[in-house]
Structure 1
């Protein structure tokens, strides 16, 4: 349940009404830092008015207050001049310096602060201020039904999945994504049980009392001894308590106990939080996969994607044995940097060349993408037929995964794919046959976002810029690259 207050501003004279609303909410709600709320909104509005509107008579700003049992979210939307917010979303904000005004000051004042482009409707700045206690929207009363953070963490049970947890997991996914999550099996308790029974998924849950308040899973690969870490969700009432960190530690320990070669995460580039969590647990950013996240994906009904968005790929490699690598000259610098980050060294010992099919493929119909696996120098005609098949099957993105250990003609393979407008994505460790692969990617859709992708680290930003430059290099003559 939530409550909504919306104020439409076309003049500075209405700012008094807004300040009155903030004062009323400060008195009404059990805010974590009530004294800082008004200052944050003042700072945000002043920035919007100053930078979005050259003439105040054109001002068109909507301020929306969304009240839930655990937090107040304030969205400030305007249809004014565009603004590049990306410098304020990279790396951690330096809180050792006292910021007096501007966006960095807002970071100091609130619990969360982020920016969203609204395509043809302008832009949105959002802040969140947490509550000290639960707030009952129907009665307007506060409740201390939830103990303090320390007590909750002491009583929290983080463990492997039990069949009785399935319904709670499905409800968590709904609370976080409504019905927009592309791994749609996780809305169905029966499928959640079956996936765990079949060992396709190893779920970790955080349970408080009898209530499932967190979920994280290892999605086991069918192609190698690795797993994706995915389907992460925490009950909105229990956020900012360290529950995700506890589950993350358990996920890593579980993967090690299962003797997996590596785990990897696909962090949605709609916000920086998953990327930050992956980095804080020692993972290494090795690839950006454009267009993998379907359009209309929505997080907590607050962050939405109107175009296909991207995923930041991070690996934690457990099996760091030396391995023979044949990087193509075109991408050698990027590949070598990924190996150094993953702490994997090169070996001079060449492995035996396996007898594998040169070209194979598989599709993911849930998100309309296709994968081409390349184990040797393919025939031009066979490669074109496979790419045409991807078009026929309505794949909006096509990813080509190239073996990095056995293809002497790998430079020629890369040139073939570049001529067909495939460009760099990154390195995937132990991805098929427990071997490493270079991924290139190709767009089959115009509706792939590259402008609003959020990069948390400077390394990620540099990688995205490299990918965009490579895309421009291989684009058809006269074609516009987003």
Structure 2
């Protein structure tokens, strides 16, 4: 627990028996529309808080009135990178910079426990959450176009059009990670190099070793998020048949499952990614950014493919010069049919 400053604000972690505090905060901001459904399940919240997969911190008045909530998920207790989310500042507390103060408290807690970093998807419907992330030292590493379903209603974005919204992806470094090669396609070297430098990541761009042989068959898994109406394809081994395999999966996901978007993660630790990623351009798959993915080994190159979604620069709000440059790059890489 931390008493911060002269205003009597208390910052602390929630115990497993206090999971209802999270649910109440989400309901206050989103009603029943929040697209991470487990936050409404008291038993699931309690289980995650108990086994360490979720850390929940709050800012309160001295009398115990909730002002702000911030959470962090890991795939398993002991993961090196956490996923920040469920950030809610109650209406009465806005204008007091409580988002940044609460996130700093969470980041300090995670840093002290040796986590390498923390990432988050931040709405691009308005700049407020992005500015708050920039204030705590987080940097944009990509844009997830069409990531947020139209069903989500956020009280901080009242008046925004009810259609799929995009998200800016932020990464906050907490501790040094390990040195590692980054086998990115040559076409994206410049933008990935800038991102690695800006985020102070210990990855170095590298060319595939001479004589490197691609695996014959691609190994991947597909996770469909029905709440978001999208899918994430995680490639663990990029093979010579990657374009063929992705073509078939993408067709099924769009035309049989009628999803709005498919995102594809390729492991940057594999030389195969540098050799085959550009082949996916013919399928309408374009650059999104670089991201951590616990199902792959290290950072990944994320690519995206949109179905029946048109994106323009006016649809996405950014809060920094780097964010604008990165968004321009992501939009320029989209196939013409996805822009308007």
User: TM range, normalised to the smaller chain?
Assistant: 0.7 to 0.9
Does residue 242 of structure 1 match 2:97?
yes
- Does residue 366 of the first structure (1) align with residue 256 of the second (2)? no
1:184 aligns with 2:37: yes
In 2, the alpha carbon distance for the partners of 1:347 and 1:171 equals 45
1:421, distance to aligned residue in structure 2 (A): 0.2
Q: Does 1:220 align with 2:74?
A: yes
Does the 8 Å contact 1:358/1:376 carry over to 2? yes
Structure-2 separation of matches of 1:288 and 1:248: 21
Distance 1:409 1:396, change over 3 A: closer
2:192 is matched with 335
Query: Which of the numbers 442, 455, 468 marks the counterpart of 2:318?
Result: 455
2:129 matches 1:310: no
Q: How far apart are 1:337 and its partner, in Å? A: 0.6
Alignment-derived partner of residue 195 in structure 1: 48
Q: What residue number does 1:52 align with?
A: none
Aligned to 1:279: 134
1:277 Cα deviation from its structure 2 partner: 1.0
The residue that corresponds to 2:181 in the other structure is 324
Aligned mate of 1:407, from 245, 265, 271: 271
Corresponding residue SS for 2:21: helix
Indicate the residue corresponding to 1:229 in structure 2. Answer: 84
2:21 is matched with 168
5+ long unaligned stretches in structure 2 = none
- Aligned equivalent of 1:464: 327
CA offset at residue 253 of structure 1? Answer: 1.4
Q: Could you list the per-position Cα deviations for residues 188-237 of structure 1 after superposition, in whole angstroms to 9, with x for gaps in the alignment?
A: 43432233224332111223223332210101135963211110112211
The superposition leaves residues 299-324 of structure 1 with CA deviations (integer Å, 9 ceiling, x where unpaired) of 22724341111110011233343221
How far has the Cα of 1:372 moved from its partner? Answer: 1.4
1:412-427 to 2 correspondences below 5 Å: 413-427=276-290
Greater displacement, 184-193 / 198-207: 184-193
Q: Distance in 1 between matches of 2:222 and 2:305?
A: 15
**Which stretch shifts more, 355-364 or 343-352?**
343-352
- Which whole-Å deviations, capped at 9, do the CAs of 1:329-374 have from their partners, x for residues lacking one? 1111111111111112428799999x99622221222211111122
Secondary structure in 1 matching 2:71: strand
Aligned pairs, number: 326
Taking a change above 3 Å as real, the CA distance of residues 409 and 181 of structure 1, as seen in their structure-2 partners, is closer
Decide whether the 8 Å contact of 1:290 with 1:450 is kept in 2. Answer: no
In 2, Cα distance between equivalents of 1:305 and 1:234: 22
Between stretches 245-254 and 293-302, larger displacement belongs to: 293-302
CA distance in 1, matches of 2:120, 2:324: 17
**Whole-angstrom distance in 2 between the partners of 1:286 and 1:407:** 21
Answer whether contact 1:320 1:343 (CA < 8 A) is retained. no
SS, match of residue 466 in structure 1: helix
Offset at residue 273 of structure 1 (A): 1.0
TM-score by length of 1: 0.62
- In 1, Cα distance between the equivalents of 2:99 and 2:106? 10
Any idea what SS the aligned residue of 1:289 has?
strand
Structure 1 or 2, whichever has the larger Rg, is: 1
Question: Is 1:481 aligned to residue 339 of structure 2?
Answer: yes
TM-score (norm: length of structure 2): 0.85
C-alpha distance 369-347 of structure 1, shift in aligned 2 (>3 A): closer
Residue 430 of structure 1, CA deviation: 6.0
Aligned ranges 1:11-90 → 2 under 5 Å: none
CA contact (8 A) 2:100 2:133 kept: no
Structure 2 counterpart of 1:300, from 137, 142, 155: 155
- For 2:14 and 2:273, locate their aligned partners in 1 and report how far apart those are by CA, in whole Å: 46
Instruction: Give the number of the structure with larger relative contact order, counting CA–CA contacts within 8 Å between residues 6 or more apart.
Output: 2
Gaps of 5+ in 1: 1-148
2:239 matched to which residue of 1?
377
- Helix, strand or coil: the match of 2:140? strand
Q: Cα distance 1:434–1:247, how it changes in 2: closer, same or farther (>3 A)?
A: farther
Backbone CA RMSD of aligned residues: 3.0
CA distance 1:291–1:300, change in 2 (3 Å): same
Secondary structure at the aligned position of 1:402 is classed as: strand
**Which residue of the partner structure matches residue 47 of structure 1?**
none
CA deviation map 1:13-62 (0-9, x unaligned): xxxxxxxxxxxxxxxxxxxxxxxxxxxxxxxxxxxxxxxxxxxxxxxxxx
Residue 65 of structure 1 corresponds to none
Which residue does the alignment assign to 2:112? 257
